[in-house]
Every structure is written in structure tokens, then in C-alpha cells.
Amino acid sequence: MSIFSRHKTTLPTAEEALPGRAGSDFVIAAKHRVLDAPVVTPTAPEGYEVAIFGLGCFWGAEEIYWQKPGVWSTSVGYAGGTTENPTYDEVCSGRTGHTEAVRIVFDPAVISYADLVKTFFEVHDPTQGMRQGNDVGTQYRSAIYYTTPEQEQTARELTRVYADELTRRRYGDITTEIRPAAETPYYYAEDHHQQYLDKHPSGYRCHANTGVPFPPV
């Protein structure tokens, strides 16, 4: 099957994916528009951690997380795929393997990784596979890319807890992809996507969710 006739809900193989480019073609603003931090954070304050989630359209996801106390910086980008330094249009083509992602740098002394994961599950529908609501495609799939072994343990344990709660309420199976962030680089999205909903407060938000709160654990 030609990659030009692939359905956009089918992940491309590494051979099918677009090759991308060696470096980024765009410049990102140095200062976060909402938080007192940079957007691009190759380094973070000592003791801080990085979390990466895919939960549908990254504009709304970033807005949710930048409001959380203990979150130092957020950005939106692409993760989980093969294409190097992809563009937004390339990701939307379904030919990169990437999902739209939000990268969060946080202070675990103020907000725990577990709390970030619980928010992740509550604000999107992790049972929808390659879509969120009316947004259809591999770039909208649910994903957790953990950055430490402790994050992996937490992510998998809380996924089981929420899966049991969804089953009890007669929802489908969780389709969230859980992988180490080290398997695939996180590529920052273009500057106009960063803090998009601060630039455009009435802009598009997709919060397709089950309405099921995370149960006490």
C-alpha cells in the first residue's frame, strides 16, 4: 500500500515515515508568555522533572497544565514518531508517527507526577484510539512518555486504576501508549503554537473526556 493512500489512523512504519530534516527551520520565543520561565528548556532547575503527555490537540493540553501550581514551564511539540524535526503540516499528514504532545517541567515538591497523570486521564478520553472527539488521526492519540523509572511505575499503576474505574462504568479499554521518552526525541512545535490559547483566548479547545473523575488511591 502506498503511503499516499494510507489511512490517517494507521501509524506509518519507519520506512514509510517522512525523513524530516537535521535541524529545526523555525525560531521559538525565549520567554514563556504565561510562566516566568523559558519555553525551550534543555536544562531545568535542580530537582525538577520533565513529563511528556499526548492528549489530543496540544493547545488545550498546554493551557490546562500551565495553570497547575508547581509547573515551571510548558511547551507543545511532537513525540512518539520517527520523522526528525517535523513540521505541523507533516505531523497532520499522518506520515511522521508523532502525536501532538505537551512537555511539562515541574517541581515534584509542589506537584507530584501522580497528580499530573491523574489530570491527564481526567481531561481527555483515553479510550478513543487514534482520535479525540472530532479530531481524527494518529497525531491525536493518547500517550505517556515517561522520563524516569519511577514515572513509568506511577504511569502504569495509575493507568490500571483508571482502567478499572472506566470498566466499572462500562467504558472501553484504555488505548494510551506508554513508552520511555528516550525512545523518541521530543521536537518543539512552531512558535505560533506555543501558548496558543494565551495569544488567542477564544481559540479552539478539544477536551473530549469521559467525565469520570480519578478514583481515590
- pLDDT tens for 10-62 read 999 999 999 999 998 889 999 999 999 999 999 889 999 999 999 999 999 99
CA dihedral of 68, 72, 78, 83, whole degrees rounded to 10:
-160
Amino acid at 166: L
d(CA 196, CA 203): 8
d(CA 144, CA 142): 7
Share of the chain above pLDDT 90, in %: 92
Catalytic residue ranges = 57
pLDDT for 186 beyond 90:
yes
Model confidence, pTM: 0.95
- pLDDT (0 to 100) of residue 2: 37
Contact criterion met (CB below 8 Å) for 99 and 128: no
Tell me phi and psi for residue 152, to 5 degrees: -60, -45
In DSSP terms, which residues pair with 101 in a beta bridge?
Answer: 77
d(CA 193, CA 184): 21
- Average pLDDT on 206-212 reads 92
d(CA 104, CA 122): 17
- pLDDT tens for 57-110 read 999 999 999 999 999 999 999 999 999 999 999 999 999 999 999 999 999 999
- pLDDT (0 to 100) of residue 184: 87
- Average pLDDT on 188-202 reads 98
- pLDDT tens for 121-134 read 999 999 999 999 99
Buried b (16+ CB within 10 A) or exposed e, 5-26: ebeeeebbeeeebbebeeeeee
- pLDDT (0 to 100) of residue 25: 84
CA dihedral of 23, 60, 39, 181, whole degrees rounded to 10:
-60
CATH, domain range 49-199: 3.30.1060.10
